[in-house]
Amino acid sequence: MANLDFKTNFVISVKSAIKKYQRMKRYFNRYDFKSWNCRIVRSYEEYKRFGEENKSITAKCFEIDEQNLKHGVHEGIIRGKCSFCDKKVDFIWKLRPQYSEHILFTEVLFHTGCHMTARQRAVIQLFKIFEKNNPVNKKIYIYEQTTPFYENYKNCWGKDNEIIGSEYLGFDKKPGEIVNGIRHEDSMNLSFKDNELDYMISNDVFEHVPDIDLSLKEAKRCLKPGGKLLFRIPVEWEREKTFKRAEFNNGEITYLAEKIYHGGFQHDGSDGSLLVYNYGQDIFDIVKRAGFKDAYGVAVLDKKYVNIDYTPILVFVCEK
């Protein structure tokens, strides 16, 4: 009987692996991922495996950082292709000691022409792959408005598409309200109609929201069938479980840990945006439980486009 159970489980495992491979193959045939060193990942184990297979790229980051720590080399240039500008450029990196003694490659490795960082360029590259470099008649919402990222999207694709940006201006504002030329939106209560948007794009926003589950479900509500949410967040991969640092109730905040603020749009006051979530390895489970038709990560380590870091850059894709 035990032997029979073993054979049954083995057959199920093989069939599951074949289905996963076929699903991944369909995606890669549907979209042109071949020119970009990336992989669709659906678990921390798959993400970790991709990083191990590309150690030569991550090793370069550790090597540069060692020069920074031991020899005082605090800035430099890496030549590569900008996925937004679509040309070879010099990417500049520079130590920001106010944030870390280490070089934060996803944050500081940028092209002075478009001011796009490594993580932002990964999001743009993925968008361009999905749209075959030619988005037309799309309604695109970006969870930011006062940034180079939003301005670049507006300038590049605003002629043939509707690009909407916003900032969070406080719990006392109404969704969709315009304050001094800036649109207010709450990720948990957006002003958009059901099935209205083709794309929703978020860069390092969801670590600041009061409730990630509500934010993802609200994104799902606003997307058209077939629409996509693309988002990037910082993840602490040594952490198994996500830790929530604060709870919110009618504008009142209960702090569960020391207050930490990230720079950006100053809606929380002069300190920046309050960090609410320290995401961990269970982020894949959090994304999947939102109820999208499909939800996965795209892990990237690419020398040509200089999408590099100590671990793979990860962009989540949620399809309705």
Q: Pick the residue with more confidence: 23 or 241?
A: 241
Q: What percent of the chain has pLDDT over 90?
A: 78
Q: What is the pLDDT, as a whole number, of residue 306? A: 95
Tell me the average pLDDT across 107-120.
92
Q: What is the pLDDT, as a whole number, of residue 251? A: 76
User: Are residues 308 and 63 in contact, defined by beta-carbon separation less than 8 angstroms?
Assistant: no
User: Are residues 317 and 230 in contact, defined by beta-carbon separation less than 8 angstroms?
Assistant: yes
Question: What is the distance of C-alpha 318 from the center of its chain?
Answer: 11
CATH at residue 232 = 3.40.50.150
Q: Could you tell me if residue 18 is inside a domain?
A: no
Q: What angle do CA 211, 216, 220 make, to 5 degrees?
A: 145
Tell me the average pLDDT across 56-70.
95
Q: Could you tell me if residue 13 is inside a domain?
A: no
Long-range own/partner contacts, residues 160-169 (CB < 8 A, 24 or more apart): 160/135, 160/136, 161/135, 161/136, 161/137, 162/138, 164/139, 164/140, 165/141, 166/141, 166/142, 167/265, 167/267, 168/265, 168/267, 169/267
Find the DSSP H helices in 223-291. Answer: 283-288
**Which tokens hold the place of 249?**
């109730």
Q: Find tokens 């991550």 and name the residue.
A: 58
Q: Could you tell me if residue 250 is inside a domain?
A: yes
How many contiguous H segments (helices) and E segments (strands) does the chain have? 8, 18
Query: Is residue 33 very low, low, confident or very high in pLDDT (cuts 50, 70, 90)?
Result: low
- CA pair distance 180, 296, nearest whole angstrom: 37
Task: Please tell me whether residue 185 adopts helix, strand or coil conformation.
Answer: coil
Query: Is residue 266 very low, low, confident or very high in pLDDT (cuts 50, 70, 90)?
Result: very low
**Which tokens hold the place of 40?**
């669709």
Q: Find tokens 């002629």 and name the residue.
A: 159
Whether 9 has a pLDDT exceeding 60, the answer reads: no
Give every CB contact of residue 185 below 8 A, 6+ residues apart in sequence: 143, 166, 167, 168, 175, 176, 191
User: Angle 44-53/55-71 helices, nearest 10 degrees?
Assistant: 70
Q: Could you tell me if residue 30 is inside a domain?
A: no
Q: Could you tell me if residue 85 is inside a domain?
A: yes
Tell me the average pLDDT across 266-285.
82
| β-strand partners of 254 | 247
Q: What is the pLDDT, as a whole number, of residue 222? A: 98
**Which tokens hold the place of 179?**
């304050």
Whether 246 has a pLDDT exceeding 60, the answer reads: yes
Q: Pick the residue with more confidence: 262 or 59?
A: 59
Question: What is the distance of C-alpha 309 from the center of its chain?
Answer: 14
Q: Could you tell me if residue 33 is inside a domain?
A: no
Tell me the average pLDDT across 118-125.
95
Query: Is residue 214 very low, low, confident or very high in pLDDT (cuts 50, 70, 90)?
Result: very high
Q: What angle do CA 89, 92, 93 make, to 5 degrees?
A: 150
Structural domain for 200, as ranges = 52-319
Counted domains in the chain: 1
Q: What is the pLDDT, as a whole number, of residue 145? A: 96
Q: What is the pLDDT, as a whole number, of residue 13? A: 56
Whether 16 has a pLDDT exceeding 80, the answer reads: no
Residue type, 44: Y
Q: What is the pLDDT, as a whole number, of residue 271? A: 67
